[in-house]
Structure 1
Amino acid sequence: MNNKIEQIPSWMKAMQNGNLAEARARAFLMNRFWILERSIDINGADFLIQRRLTNSNFLDDKAPRLGVVQVKFFDSPATTQKIHKEYVIDDDGKPRTEFFVLLHSGNEEQEEMYFLTAQDVCRDFELKRKDGIDKYHLPGNKIIGLAKYRVIVKKLILDRIEHYLQLADFAKNRKFISWSLPGANVDPDHIMPDFKEPIPNWYGSIPEAFYNTKEAARESLLEISKAYDMLTAVVEESDPIRANDVLEEIKREFNTERGLIISLSRKLDDYSFREVCKKHKNQLEDLRNHGLLDAFLSLKGFFRKILTEFLQDKMPLEKNLVHAFSFKINENLAVVDLRHSLDEFEVFKKNKEHISEISESAGLAVLKNRAKEFLVYWRPKVFLKDMNVKEYFENEDLFVYRATMEAIYDERYYVCDYTNLEL
């Protein structure tokens, strides 16, 4: 009897790994996209994906843009995968908006998936030439186990792919403004996917604010176009009297004490919006570089869940009741040692006599002690009024979520000994 364990040939193992990666990727992508085709690539499987747009087809003037997802499998950290340069960058040397890489590793007990955009590949990995062919080299030891690329929350990755495809849809079909200044269309999806990441901020929705800025620019374009058309009429007019009639109309339309001025919307000069966009970008890069972006974004859903569960069977609440919850954050931005209380303000303050910053007038405050324990206290009645708790928490972007997440971010990246955000 031969007890020797039969070794699987390398070619068969590679085929098995490829089939496994393909099956995992297909199951993941079908949650959100239509998979139109699987093309054969000796270096991996390519999936052609399309956003689920039922009102658009390939015969339309604005046909939907397809995404290309290349799938790879790492048998071990020593494995290096390669991707052709043409997949990753276009003829202008820019990363392709619609190209993505899904990398898989581990058996059924230790499945792991990693996600890269074309921009990630260009920025973080080396391009090498061999036999006249340029390929990006993706070493397993620079990907496996690295939180920066690991898929932690599948929904967030699917959202990112969709945002990139929305941008690609727009970029392909965009018509540039001609010299005669026709009206420009405003597409709410034409914003870099990074700015759709739901990092909380005091200003509000960045995509919505950017759309409003573009609408203001479009309205100003219409004003410029109106002035252009009227001045063109003067230039082309052969009758001096009619030309002066048009000039009088221009004066009535655009005259001010400082002369003829075309008025532009004040929304085009929003300093606060510029600053919140810069802060958003810095936060995004901090969290992404440390592999903590998805963990951070998941905190909002976590706090929404635990607050809803704690308060929903305690309604209606009196106005003087204070809900407090304390917790710590571990190195992976997970909440630990969570505790709740619901007391009248005087009872709450008596129990927290060692904290002098507690204010009766505060609707919400986030405190952190030197042991890096956060204490959040707020008056739910101030915010909830008579609304259903579960419905309100699920549909409103409460201050309590934003302030708590901002304090967590500040503690991690600014190493504050003490944080007090009082709203």
Structure 2
Amino acid sequence: MNAVLVAVLVMLILSLVRVHVVIALAIGALVGGLLGGLGFDQTISVFTAGLGGSATVALSYALLGAFAVAIARTGLPEVMVNWVVKLVGKKGDTRKKALSKALIFFLLAIVSCFSQNVVPIHIAFIPILIPPILKILNELGVDRRAIATILTFGLTAPYIFLPYGFGAIFHGIIADNMDENGLIVELSMIPKAMALPTIGLVIGLLIAVLVTYRKNRVYEDRAIVGARKEKQVYTNWSIISALLSIVATLVVQTLSDSMIVAALAGLVVLLVSGSLKWKEADDVVTEGMKMMAFISFVMLAASGFAAVIRETGHVDLLVRQTSNIVGESQAAAALLMLVIGLFITMGIGSSFATIPIIATLFVPLGMAAGFSPVAIIALIGTAGALGDAGAPASDSTLGPTAGLNADGQHNHIWDTCVPTFVHFNIPLFIFGWMAAMFL
């Protein structure tokens, strides 16, 4: 048995039966390490050393949570709520409700797509935008699984297709790693190769929003983490300060490419403006860290898991096993390569982090099977996107969960990962295979 496949299977099965994903990652890493011949002590050592790989990301999310809670204290969410309520109108007005749902879906899709290419802030907008509108979503009867698929689509589709912002980084990683493995490609080939997989994501999104999660779903009106129980009091200045802090966060994130510095900049603006009182600062940071602690610890555990998988050396073994199975069949080769990519990226959870591993596998396999350079790009890019679109440890699924679960009514596995896996990974798999066969 291959240690990589077994480790990922153990992690996924435990997650699906509602074992906490951090514990599932730790157990999966232990099983993979032991099966890969590392031994108990070495597995623990590698896992522990690997935790530091996501320390910066974990701190970034914690500070973003603090910034989101601070924004909630300014009254800006209250203004947003009042504005959207006017759109909703009376509860009996079905047409207005439908239009309000459509408007919210459209705006969330636009914002999440822009966060990858236009203003590359990734998931930084989620803890600011989503928690304040949960009560509105409740009133409209919106199924939060639809929102999860919209957000994950916006966090995935733009960067795999468009060569701007995070897309430029992603495309550069693919090209560089293919070059290093003996296949030189042009950056201009990548959008062409990823067009079909992106169409698959669009189809999955439409099915999720228009069919699967179209019906209303009932949620309780619960308090948001960090929100005050009494009615929020706000002034024109506090609203202006909140908007200025958001602008400052976006600008600093764009210039510094650091979510930590960006979140700190937003907090400083709120403190200097007086919208966030000094005596409240400690409570705000604590509440924000509580809200984002889940995503932070999952990212840390995922780094340890990935370190163990790499250390076993069974990734290379997987290549040899695959080559023996597929023989000269391109269809079988493409199918098995995507299955391998799915397992690797589902375990590690980051397309950016797994592209070097996938390229090492797929370039020699693809060349041996007679695939064109564009087809190999499609296989590599699709395999990377499979992890971001549905993995429990992906920030493209963890981010939406952190926002939608701000009132404790959204399960990470069953309300985010399973919906995104079904609606995105399945069409990605199909359209990625088609791209490999016909390009």
Q: Which has the higher contact order (CA 8 A, sep 6+)?
A: 2
Structure 2 length as normaliser, TM-score?
A: 0.24
Structure 1 length as normaliser, TM-score?
A: 0.24
Report the structure number with the largest CA radius of gyration.
Answer: 1
In terms of fraction of residues, the more helix-rich structure is 2
